[in-house]
Amino acid sequence: MDNILIKIRNLTKIYKMGENEVRALDGINLDIEKGEFVSIVGQSGSGKTTLMNIIGCLDVKTSGEYFLNGIDTSKLSDNQLADLRCSEIGFVFQNFNLLQKMTALENVELPMIYKGVPTKERRQRAEMLLEMVGLKERMHHRPNELSGGQQQRVAIARALANNPHLILADEPTGNLDSKSGSEIMKIIKELNERGNTVVLITHDPNIAAQAKRIVRIKDGRILENEVVTP
């Protein structure tokens, strides 16, 4: 079986701003194997967010190829992309992006609702995941009753809900103090050790250094592809 989870070839993304064309991504080639822990580093405006959106199937490329787990994403409809996001990708956002009107448990259940997991199974798995991130006692609290670190842990539990191949974390520690931040990084590393593929987008070199491989990106091009030696 093919061990490559993400295969990107000659990927280009062009935004049209009136008359001008902005090349946000300009010929990206990138392979990420299953079980890898890769950080994508770049200054703001480097194109890393655009790359994350395309990897996360939230956006579509202008040209080039992107295979996720062997699936050619350019051939998929909006609905199929939604299905792919639902079952193959777990998002962890900088600002957590939890639904404020729902409890932690309900937030974790949400991706499973869209996948069609039966109610009982859904509830059990959500409880199990929240226990795993250490929030068993707080599963019936709403996000505004939780600290930033706790909210991000709920978000990680949610990202794992449908057992996706890829965890896509966009500045996951950006809104956290250093203590909560390192706790979150610890959980992310644990996930990777259990076999989840993690792609981490950040501008912080210290966070990026915790990954096993660092991809530096600048002006829409990959600058450097470096393996971190522990």
Partner 1 sequence: MRYVEALKIAIRSILSNKMRSFLTMLGIIIGVTAVIALVSIGQGSTRSVTSQIQSMGSNLIMVNVMGRGGESSLTYDQAIVLKDSNFIAAISPVISTSVTAMYGNNSVDNTTVNGVNGDYQSIRDIQVAAGRFILPMDDEGRNKVAVLGSNVARELFGFTDPIGKTIKLNGQNFTVVGILSQKGSSIAGSDDDSIFIPLKTMFYFAKNREIRQIYIEATSPDTVEFAKNEINSKLLTIFKGDANAFRIIDQSQILSTVNSVTATLSLLLGGIAGISLLVGGIGIMNIMLVSVIERTREIGIRKALGAKKKDILLQFIIESLTLSGLGGIVGIIVGYVLSMVLGSAMNINAKPSLSTVLISFSFSVIVGLFFGVYPANKAANLNPIEALRYE
Task: Give the binding site for partner 1 (CB under 8 A).
Answer: 53, 56, 58-59, 78-79, 82-83, 85-87, 91, 93, 97-99, 101, 110-111, 113-116, 158, 162
Whole-number minimum distance, CB 151 to partner 1, in Å? 13
Of the pair 59, 219, the CB lying nearest partner 1 is at: 59
Of the pair 170, 183, the CB lying nearest partner 1 is at: 170
User: Tokens in use for 67?
Assistant: 């295979």
Inter-residue contact 207 to 170 (CB < 8 Å): no
DSSP conformation class of 102: S
Helix (H, G, I), strand (E, B) or coil at 173: coil
Of the pair 91, 216, the CB lying nearest partner 1 is at: 91
Helix (H, G, I), strand (E, B) or coil at 2: coil
Whole-number minimum distance, CB 228 to partner 1, in Å? 29
Whole-number minimum distance, CB 215 to partner 1, in Å? 21
Of the pair 112, 214, the CB lying nearest partner 1 is at: 112
Whole-number minimum distance, CB 92 to partner 1, in Å? 11
Q: What share of the chain is helix, strand, coil (3-state, %, to 5)?
A: 35, 30, 35
Inter-residue contact 56 to 219 (CB < 8 Å): no
Name the phi and psi angles at 229, rounded to 5.
-100, 120
* Distance from C-alpha of 220 to C-alpha of 47, rounded to nearest angstrom: 5
